[in-house]
Amino acid sequence: MIIFIAAVILTLSAIGLSAYYLIKHFMETKEKQSYPITPSQPWRSFTDRYSTAFKVVVVGILTLLLLIPLTMVQSLIRERQSTKWDAVSDITSKWGGKQILAGPCLVLPYTETIIEDKKELVVERNLLLLPETLDANATASVESRKRGIYDASVYSSEMTLSGLFDATAIKKINVDASRILWGKAQVIIGLSDLKGIKEKVVFESNAQKIEFESGLGVENLATGNAIASVREYSLDSDGVFAVGLNAKLDSLQPDALADNKLPFKISIKVNGSQGWYIVPVGKTTSAHLKSDWATPSFDGSFLPEEREITKDGFTANWQVLDLNRSFGQVIRADDDKAVNQMTASSFGVRFIQSVDQYQQNMRSAKYAILIILLTFVVVFFIELLKKKSANPFQYLLVGLALVLFYTLLLSMSEVWGFNLAYLAAALMTTALITLHMSGILKDRKQGLLIGALLAFLYVFIFILIQMESYALLVGSLGLFAILAVIMYYSKKIKF
């Protein structure tokens, strides 16, 4: 790709230089044939009389032509970013993906009489009874796994879910308690990636233990819509109940479910990556997460009420009430709308790298045309004010160096990080152009002037890249000042 970009620029430079001299030769020949020469009025060619305006047009065209390789550079950045995502996906597919935990939910089958073809039929449906209270305590130990020059953040977590179910809540919906099949009750947990589970998961209640099995085993259970994607990776999911675990409660006494509150405790050890999320299924949901990751990004429908971030990690606490969400404590298992609302209410944290060099590379590349144009303007002013000369091919060579800066920056940032790569690429490019222009203009002082301007521009752009909220303001003021300087010196130029 880099060789292709260089070939495009060299081809354009050859075409532009050839066109420049062909037009110049044609105009001079035509002028000689039609312009009478006298001793008092020596002959001046068209290009001599309008050389300044002609060069402005040529430099402008060259600047526009450089947009072609700059577009290729941006395409290269996106290609490398896509390659990184593929590497991250390969790592996480073997370790465990983003984990979204929905549950536990108590599944209560019940019978319902319907009329079909003038006949009464008894069908079996399912209710999802959500916990009265849910306390989730989790720890996550994060580490980086590498694939070539790329790395991904993966974590190992231990979660403890505790709370209780209150079966009396079903009185609030239009289902007769006598129709509920208590002997077929089960507990389900939705979990995005079962591959990450490291130990057996056990449901504990009233001194009894029941092991979970893989799968949900609920007929016509709505899965929920996919989670929206985020900036760094695609965090799409097939829904909170696409996959999960189930525990049959047939060993419990039916009366214990129907008349009493059912306490529970569940411990889960699971591997994951990218993010950790939980759905607030409790009437009161409390979540506490502690991790050694120092750059968390809190995500989802609810932000933590308390959080503390240090260089050694973070802690975060959430509390969500049933009044904060749009679904009730008892829903029908096939109710797509309610399950979609459960999916949309998830909250948690993304484990992201503190610096995304590809976003910074892309932001830097968007300022490329500004650096090229201002560098050309300075060279052009030096030509006119200091009576120096540089042909269009020299302009294109400078443009090539300025474009290659971004490929240097991209390649080195993947290995060294963005800040160090930016410094190295800027020093290399500035030194190359300074030496080149010193030789072309045959004036070391003017070459150093161009190098100093280029260094200033790279520092200015770096500051803009690091800023977020005030980048537009600072950028606008800086450009205004630069334009004012150009307008001042342009008064000395006669076209």
Domain boundaries of the chain, sorted by first residue? 2-32+44-80+358-490, 98-354
According to the model, what pLDDT value does residue 449 have?
Answer: 82
* Sheet bearing 150-166, strands edge to edge: 208-211, 202-205, 261-273, 150-166, 133-147, 284-291, 313-321, 306-310
Q: Where are the alpha helices (DSSP H) in 349-494?
A: 357-366, 368-385, 392-416, 418-441, 444-466, 471-490
| Cα end-to-end span (Å), the chain | 40
- What is the residue-wise DSSP string for 425-450? HHHHHHHHHHHHHHHHHT-HHHHHHH
- The size of the chain, in residues, is 495
Beta-carbon contacts of residue 263 (< 8 Å; ≥ 6 apart): 162, 163, 164, 205, 206
For the whole model, what pTM was predicted? 0.70
Radius of gyration over every alpha carbon of the chain, rounded to an integer in angstroms: 34
Which is it for strands 296-300 and 99-116: parallel, antiparallel or unpaired?
unpaired
CA neighbor of 74 nearest in space, from 465, 403, 457: 403
Helix axes 368-385, 418-441, angle to 10 degrees: 20
Residue pLDDT tens, the chain, 495 long: 544 444 455 455 545 555 555 555 555 555 555 545 455 445 444 445 556 666 677 777 877 888 888 888 888 888 888 888 888 888 777 788 888 998 899 988 888 777 766 677 777 788 888 999 999 999 999 888 877 777 778 889 999 999 988 888 787 777 777 788 888 888 999 888 888 888 899 998 887 888 898 888 887 787 776 444 333 434 445 678 888 898 888 766 655 565 668 889 999 999 988 888 999 999 999 999 999 888 888 888 898 999 999 888 899 999 999 888 888 888 888 888 888 888 888 899 988 765 578 888 888 888 888 888 888 877 777 776 666 666 777 777 888 888 889 899 988 988 888 889 999 999 998 898 888 888 877 778 877 888 888 888 888 888 888 776 677 787 788 778 877 877 776 666 555
- Could you give phi then psi for residue 164, rounded to 5 degrees? -155, 155
According to the model, what pLDDT value does residue 135 have?
Answer: 94
- Could you give phi then psi for residue 20, rounded to 5 degrees? -60, -50
Locus of tokens 């090229």: 372
Beta-carbon contacts of residue 254 (< 8 Å; ≥ 6 apart): 182, 183
